[in-house]
Amino acid sequence: MRCALIGDPAGHSLSPALHRAAYLELGLEWSYDAITVASSDLDAFVAGLVDTAVGEQQWRGLSVTMPHKEAILAHGRVSDLARLVGAANTLIVTPGERHALYNTDVSGVQEACRRRDVPHARSATVIGNGATARSAVVALAGLGLQRLTVLARSPERAAHLSQLAETLHVSCQVRQLAGATATGDLLVSTVPSKGVDEDCERLVGEVPVIFDAIYDPWPTPLARVGLADGRTVISGLDLLCGQAIQQINLMTGDSVGFEGLLSAGQAELRARGKL
């Protein structure tokens, strides 16, 4: 069977290291690659998944990263969770019928929090307004979130997060990122490091737990502040491993553990000189 991650770009992803380690653990002779697919080529790429020549590996599934998490929703049967978030990161190939689309980022955020002993967050600040931010809000709502602050460079573009929070019965306020200070039990950043690298200490404030969805480069400026102060820091690698657990199960029907995936991701980062 053949699986892959698609995105633009895709070559930087650690997903191949995680999935290949899982296949080795499960005794599967499957392949998994990172494939750069431009937005203009997405329709043709997905349409070609069932046109595998005789003798070639059949496609089983795709991990989907930016910028395709929203556009991929047009290419299959969308799970209720993916529809709620408005984004999917997993496509399961189903020849003869519509492909199945799922969001495992939500469970990934929750698993990452549990692994770092952060089972609950009544109040949180989320930086960003994209697909990962929406997944984080849904995930935290499942962990008991009651009050949400969204920090965005363009607050008017984050109105959909307020609507999502309302659907989840979570109170929400949207504020300008510039000059802001995070509040609550947890700070989640879903934007590139360069978007928050100035005045990180002010931005972090007194929040005890920092969750940065970035894993390369690591530590991020936000993570450095948290680590220096002895706060709980959750990384994008924790998120990647957490979401991969469910994604691998959807693709293979089997289960793997968090620690094995984490070890594979760390080994790949060390090989790249990034850890």
Domains of the chain: 2-103+238-271 (3.40.50.10860), 106-234 (3.40.50.720)
Helix-then-strand count for the chain, H and E: 10, 12
Structure tokens, 110: 């929750």
3-state SS, residue 205? coil
Using pLDDT thresholds of 50, 70 and 90, give the confidence band for residue 192: confident
Exactly one of 69, 75, 99, 134 is catalytic; name it: 69
Q: What is the pLDDT of residue 170?
A: 98
pTM to 2 decimals? 0.94
User: What is the spatial distance between Cα 198 and Cα 149, in angstroms, rounded to a whole number?
Assistant: 20
Instruction: Look over the chain and give the mean of its residue pLDDT values, rounded to a whole number.
Output: 94
Is 194 tagged catalytic?
A: no
Strand order in the sheet with 171-176: 171-176, 147-152, 123-127, 186-189, 209-212, 232-234
Q: What is the pLDDT of residue 216?
A: 87
- Lowest mean pLDDT segment, chosen from 169-178, 193-202, 211-220: 193-202
Q: What is the pLDDT of residue 199?
A: 79
Residues 134-187 have pLDDT tens digits of 999 999 999 999 999 999 999 999 999 999 999 999 999 999 999 999 999 999
The answer to whether 214 and 193 have CB atoms below 8 angstroms apart is: yes
Q: Burial level of 117, CB count in 10 A (0-12/13-18/19+)?
A: exposed
Residues 70-119 have pLDDT tens digits of 999 999 999 999 999 999 999 999 988 899 999 999 999 999 999 999 98
